Structure 1
């Protein structure tokens, strides 16, 4: 393995120490080749806890929402969703009043203007008027997948995606197992939320670094893996195509199906040096997946981040990480076969 990416791994280790994460990993694929695979730390702070390795599965936080996006795209491909410009109430009558005017496009791009307060749905702004990151829209999409498929999100993804792409180190987990980093749940107020449901409706999706890289890679290759088109390319093309309504001000983030697309805004999570075709997803635990089609590359970073310490700026961190990775991608010569 080349040490070309040593400076990137050293940066990730520095941040790991800064934020108090016990575990970290990086994984980079370029030109169908693994060019960097690095692991650091243990599953928990105790000396006898498991050492992080290629089998370790991290809780990926909101990265899980792109799995929901793919489920929606598959339902479109199957003809169960006719248009993302249909209102959510068209499919789920219970939302006809509370989400009037809110389309699937609004839900997929965080432009719906809805918020949950005390179990009730309230409106912050008109649909398509601006952008705001809220889970109310994600929960509606969860209900939509279950309603149209007749299955939970986790069961649907296992049958139609995980088993198809041999993603055996990916899944919603409800109890600790050897390969899981589970220290998130030591604190009853853990910021990743509850983990008692295996339906896919909670933030308890666990993924290994290499399966996370595969997740990005099948998007990069538009569903093709090892020369086989396992799902239609159109399913993936719509995921990373600009879907944000034109009515949203230009200085606010742009999304595909939940994926963040490269854009020049103050809230953008991608490093400014990453090419315009790049896209990314990030979770509260510090896990991130960046796809850079221009360089046929997928960049993954994994943490078990439990807090944001004073002085830590996560936006600056993730942008710096993306920029460093990009700089190294453009000069990389070392490689190792997948």
Structure 2
């Protein structure tokens, strides 16, 4: 349910994965990640469960051509599964590892909205204030509230659906964008519905919320999040870069969002177009710590956290959305997807299971989202009473 990446180009036949790369994809690189954040290392799940997950993920990598994946699943009182499979770099064959940095796409939304809600707690912003109070030039801005932006119910056109912008990004993926330019692209299109009428995944909402944080706090969004979100929780590997840089060591990311549909290395592409909605970088260990902090409201008052977790239907069966949080069949948190990378960071309330998935590709398999395939595969084995939904084609022919 993440769309912090541009819409896809028309489907094209791709070249087969070279045999040498296919061999690398089958490699299994195991290892438990450092606990970090004051957590004691968790014991592994029983041997049978671990063997089944290992086999299912190894098979999935071979079938999909996914270069590499990191999976962490922790269930208090039961155990954990923390492993990386495949490769972080298809050219060198460097193994995927559990401590690599990765772009996390729309998980960024959870950070940005947390910043907004902190300002609500401080009495500097009202959830039902019109966005026109903070950002000028917004169509229907006097009728669109901060709450509706965080709920993705503003009716504002999603700039990533602009065809010319998609072409420009494919032609020059290292180009830098500023927030106002993104709004200009969005606002060149009329709103798609009246504010609050329904739910629509539009990244334009989060660009506006990022600008709100900057206006009210007087700080760059990246600096605000570092000081008020990342540092208090000791998320030392999490940041919102202002350019194309990604810290070392990192996984290389692969995408087919190219003019000819060929798969290419998108690691150095500039994600400034995603900014407050999808440009964050993190790693597995930080996302393991962030997910329960997000859902327990560690950085917010109880009242504001309760508002955040009031999810509303999206129109997609089994999926609802709150204030920057996604509920997917009971798994609450967010997923992310942008050229080269996909991620999932969620928790299930029944057994407090925390699931973190990091992929270094966003090339759909048979038009099915890769991270959802991984999440479904793992949870069907480990938590069969509440599996992640099996993905359906996202771009049918």
> Is the shorter-chain TM-score for this pair beyond 0.5, marking a shared fold?
yes
Change in Cα spacing, 1:110 to 1:214, as seen in structure 2 (3 Å) is: same
Whole-angstrom distance in 1 between the partners of 2:271 and 2:334:
24
Report the CA distance between 1:150 and its aligned residue. 1.2
How far did 1:281 drift? 1.1
Give the stretch that moved more between structures: 249-258 or 54-63.
249-258
Distance 1:192 1:105 in 2: 34
1:327 is aligned to 2:384: yes
User: Does residue 133 of the first structure (1) align with residue 201 of the second (2)?
Assistant: yes
CA contact (8 A) 1:280 1:290 kept: yes
8 Å Cα contact 1:109-1:258 kept in structure 2: yes
Whether the 8 Å contact between 2:186 and 2:204 is mirrored in structure 1 is: no
Q: Deviations over 1:241-275 (max 9, x none)?
A: 33x49xx87969521112112xxxxxxxx24xx4x
TM-score computed with the length of structure 2 as normaliser: 0.66
2:297 is the alignment partner of 1:222: yes
Pairing of 1:89-168 with structure 2 (within 5 A): 89-95=132-138, 97-115=139-157, 116=159, 117=162, 119-121=185-187, 122-168=190-236
Q: Distance in 2 between matches of 1:28 and 1:197?
A: 31
Larger mean Cα displacement after TM superposition, 60-69 or 180-189: 180-189
8 Å CA contact 1:113–1:132 kept in 2: the answer is yes
The CA RMSD measured in Å over matched residues stands at 3.4
Q: CA deviation at 1:147?
A: 0.8
Return the alpha-carbon distance in structure 1 between the equivalents of residues 102 and 224 of structure 2. Answer: 21
Q: CA deviation at 1:33?
A: 8.2
Distance 1:130 1:328, change over 3 A: closer
Match of 1:28 in 2: 73
Structure 2: gaps spanning 5 or more residues:
1-43, 163-183, 260-264, 388-397
CA distance in 2, matches of 1:197, 1:21: 25
Match in the other structure for 2:176: none
Q: Which residue of 2 aligns with 1:241?
A: 310
Query: What is the aligned partner in structure 2 of residue 334 from structure 1?
Result: none
How far apart are the structure 2 equivalents of 1:92 and 1:8? 48
> Cα gap change, 1:237/1:26 in structure 2, threshold over 3 Å: closer, same or farther?
farther
Q: Distance in 2 between matches of 1:7 and 1:26?
A: 14
Query: Which of 268, 281, 290 lines up with 2:334 in the alignment?
Result: 281
* Contact 2:334 2:344 (8 Å CA) reproduced: yes
The TM-score, its normalising length taken from structure 1, stands at 0.77
CA contact 1:222–1:234 (8 Å) conserved in 2? no
Instruction: Rate the CA distance shift 1:205–1:79 in 2: closer, same or farther, 3 A.
Output: same
**Inter-partner Cα distance in structure 2 for 1:63 and 1:196:** 14
1:259 and 2:328 correspond = no
Of structures 1 and 2, the one with the larger relative CO (CA 8 A, separation 6+) is 1
1:140 is displaced (CA, Å) by: 1.0
Q: CA deviation at 1:185?
A: 8.5
1:36 and 1:234, CA in 2 relative to 1: closer, same or farther beyond 3 A? farther
